[in-house]
Structure formats: C-alpha cells, structure tokens
Amino acid sequence: MNTALTLPTEAAPQTQENLGQLNRQMIVILDFGSQYSELIARRIRETQVYSEVLSYRTTAEHLQKLNPKGIILSGGPNSVYSENAPHCDPEIWKLGIPILGVCYGMQLMVNQLGGEVTKADRGEYGKASLYIDDPTDLLTNVEDGTTMWMSHGDSVTKMPPGFELLAHTENTPCAAIADHDKKFYGVQFHPEVVHSLGGLALIRNFVYHICDCEPTWTTAAFVEEAIREIRARVGDKRVLLALSGGVDSSTLAFLLHKAIGDQLTCVFIDQGFMRKLEPERLLKLFEEQFHIHVEYVNARDRFISAIAGITDPEEKRRIIGHEFIRVFEETSKKLGHFDYLAQGTLYPDVIESADTNVDPKTGERVAVKIKSHHNVGGLPKDLRFKLVEPLRKLFKDEVRKVGRSIGLPEEIVQRQPFPGPGLAIRILGEVTAERLNILRDAAYPRWREASFLLPHSGSSKCPRT
C-alpha cells in the first residue's frame, strides 16, 4: 500500500534558471511508456552527463527553455499508427537539437518526418546481430556483428527524406538510421539494456560526439551545487527533517547540516518496531560522532497500543502511518516554527508520479507527493511547509555515492532497505512486546537478512533479495 496526500506545499519548479550551472548540459528523455525509460536516464548519467525523464507531452516550447544538449525518444508498447498512440509535439523537430529515437521513438520519428512504419511480417525479440552499413557518428567504435537487444513488432519500411541507413539485422532492414545534417538518429533496438553489447559505445557517441556534452555530472560537483542551492533557497530559516536512519534520510541530514548547520532539526520517532539497538546506535552516531542534533521521541507504547489485536498487515501499515503523522505533527508544534520540511524524494519518485503530477504543457511537477519513511501516507493538510528536496535528482545508487563522499559511515551507506512499519509487519499475527523482542534477538546482528516471526512459532529467516 503506497498512497500519498497532495499538500499545499511550495516546491521550487525545475526550470533552466534554477537547475544550476551543473545541469545546463543535460539530455532529456521523453517517455512514451517504456519500461526502460529510467534505465536510459541511468545510462546517460553513467557517462557523467545529467539526464531527466519527462512526459512525452512536454511541449517544444518548454524543451527550448530547458535547452538540453540532446533529446532521446524512449520506446513504448504502442504502434505509431494506432488510434490514440502517444505522439510528441511535432515542433521538436524544428528546435535544432540532436534527437535519438529508440525503438518506438525511432518509429515515431519516421512517422512524423514522412517515412512509413508498418506491422512487421515477423517480429524481432531478444538478441540479434547488428550489421553496420555506416560506421560513422552514432556507430563509431561499435563492432560489426555486435549483439543488440530487439523488442518490436513493427518496422520501418520507408525512411523519411534525408535519412540514410546505418545498420541492419537479418530480420530488420532498417535497424539504425540517420539524418546526419539535422542530427536525427533512430535505432530499432535498445542500447540501454545490458544485453546490447555495443549499447554503451553508441550512447557515449550520442552524448559526447553528437550532443557535444562534457562529463560534469560527478558526485563532488553535485554536492557542491546542492549545498549552494540549499543555502540560496533556505536562507536563515529553520528546516525540519523526519529522520528514519535509512540511507536516504541520513544522507539528506548530512547534506543539510553541511549546508545550514544548526538551522536543521532532525526528529527521530521511535515507534518500537526497529531492529535491536538501532535507535541507540543512530542517536550516538548523529549526536556524539557528528554533532547533528536529533530530537528523540519515544512513542513505543503509543504505537504498540495502537495496533494491539491487529493481525492484517495492511491495517497495521495504515494505523502506524496515521500514528506517525500525529506524533510528527505534535512534535513539530512543540519545537516551534519551521519554514521548510526536508524530504528525501529521489528521482524514481519524481518519475513514478509523472502521469498525475506533471503539467502536460511544461513537463513540470504541479503538485508534490509527500513521501514519509513508513510509505503509507502523507502529512496533514494544515501542516504547511515549503519543501526542500536536495536529493530529488538522484537515483538510489547516486545517493549512496553522495553519502559516502560527505562522510556518512559505511554501515549506513550500505544499509539494506527496511520497511517503515519495521518489525510490525514482519510479525505475522498480533504484535506484542514479547514477540517483538523474540524477532529482534533472532535478527541481531544479521541485519542483512530479513527475519519474520510466524504465528505460534519461533522465527523464520530468509535472505534479503
């Protein structure tokens, strides 16, 4: 159960003016519903160039304001000639920006520029050998006969005017095409997946040689930029952070403390469902070793009482989420006025909310989905904060790199995901203090394993995947 509440919060819109110098060299991926859109963004970032995934409905006008160095049209499950198939703004072809179409993106390019796409006599799925007809530009250093991953039932039967053939496979005559003058490129395969052995070389060619990007998206550069943006946004105001002890909130706390010092207040709510000695270790680490003040709230009895007699795991989640909101609200009021709420939103959260929280005309977030560390709800409507989300541009592995670079201990950097409701949902049946202690002892100190307590039994362990 992963629900969220839209709040009357104020989030800084991601426009070119506040993306910062670091992000001005970026590649935009227009998402047409591909399962690989996020993976494309990750592959671009692996070249140390910033990338963003936006809705296919993003207008050419907004893209022009962002001024990306290149645009990638993702794959998708539709046929370009089908009714209601997603199409991008045709004005993007007039922007003068290099464009790479991947699978459906290539077919859309062909369709909109005057070529033809039809249902293939024989679909192509899985690994295929790519035979190169033109080894320049996009396919420089891509070996002839290399393996690429295919997944398509339609094919290009006629290229648009100005396009040339770059490569083919046994079953796909037009596997890669290009209009070199306009820097429009299309590939029928998926270079972003690991099965495409020449995929990374192709991506690097597009990013570095065709789009003329430089590798400036580094961990050190991000930290420097994030600290500068935090200080500019927050000024001398106070910031509140709900600390869970996980890698996201801990990295966020360290980053904020580097930027604004004691203007940050961390609140740690101990609901009684954490692993053995975890609250004590967390407080000692933050307060004694790193001198980051944490407001500790012991709410163990309150939470255990709230779920007394409850056996359904989803009902446990709902109740724990509700209590967390109430405790957080009460605590924040006691601590005085705060202008900002720091939230550990990551880039997958932003992508996930694209359909409901993106303005189709601009591609920008128009409402904020508040994420709490228990993953079951949002904060109350009358709790008004402005948001500060320094990690909103990062994937999880990038967060770990940032945490490591700013001094977060390895035990937290490499910490395995742990559910917000904690041990309460790893106990099948009613949760009692006795059963919690049994499970804590069984799991300690092997935190990298997931342990569960079954009804009328001891504990059961299984490796975390």
pLDDT tens column, 155-202: 899 999 999 999 999 889 999 999 999 999 999 999 999 999 999 999
* CATH assignment of the domain containing 278: 3.40.50.620
Report if residue 110 sits inside a domain: yes
Q: Which of 62, 152, 190, 373 is catalytic?
A: 190
248 is in an annotated binding site: yes
Which range among 5-14, 198-207, 267-276 has the greatest average pLDDT?
198-207
223/91 same-domain check: no
* Residue at a domain's end among 160, 189, 210: 210
Question: Of 142, 183, 148, which Cα lies nearest the Cα of 164?
Answer: 183
Question: How confident is residue 427, by pLDDT bands cut at 50, 70 and 90?
Answer: confident
Give the lowest-confidence range in 61-70, 164-173, 396-405, 424-433.
Answer: 424-433
Residue 173 lies in a domain: yes
261 belongs to an annotated ligand binding site: no
- Of 180-189, 370-379, 392-401, the one with minimum mean pLDDT is 370-379
- What confidence score (pLDDT) does residue 110 get? 96
Residue 232 CB partners (closer than 8 Å, separation 6+)? none
Range name among 7-21, 206-220, 341-355 with the lowest pLDDT average: 7-21
Mean pLDDT of the 247-269 span: 95
Catalytic position from the list 38, 62, 88, 103: 103
Q: Is 250 annotated as a binding residue?
A: yes
Q: Give yes or no: 88 in active site.
A: no
pLDDT recorded at residue 451: 66
Measured in whole angstroms, the distance separating CA 198 from the mean position of its chain's CA atoms is 25
- Mean per-residue pLDDT, 421-448: 77
157-166, 392-401, 448-457: least confident range:
448-457
Catalytic residue among 38, 52, 124, 192: 192
132 three-class SS: strand
Within 8 A by CB and 6+ apart from 399, the residues are: 247, 248, 251, 346, 391
Is there a single domain that holds both residue 304 and residue 444? Answer: yes
Asked whether residue 334 carries a pLDDT value surpassing 80, the answer given is yes
Identity of residue 23 = N
* Structural domain ending residue among the three candidates 155, 189, 210: 210
Q: Which of 141, 176, 210 is the last residue of a domain?
A: 210
Is residue 247 a known part of a binding site? Answer: yes
Is residue 9 domain-resident?
A: no
Please state the rounded mean pLDDT for residues 215-242: 95
What range defines the domain where residue 166 resides?
Answer: 26-210
Q: Is 374 a catalytic residue?
A: no
The pLDDT tens digits for 341-364 are: 998 888 988 776 544 343 444 443
Which phi-psi region, left, alpha or beta, contains residue 193 (left: φ > 0; alpha: ψ -120 to 50)? beta
CATH number of domain containing 112: 3.40.50.880
Is residue 199 marked as binding?
Answer: no
The pLDDT of residue 83: 87
Please say if 190 is a catalytic residue.
Answer: yes
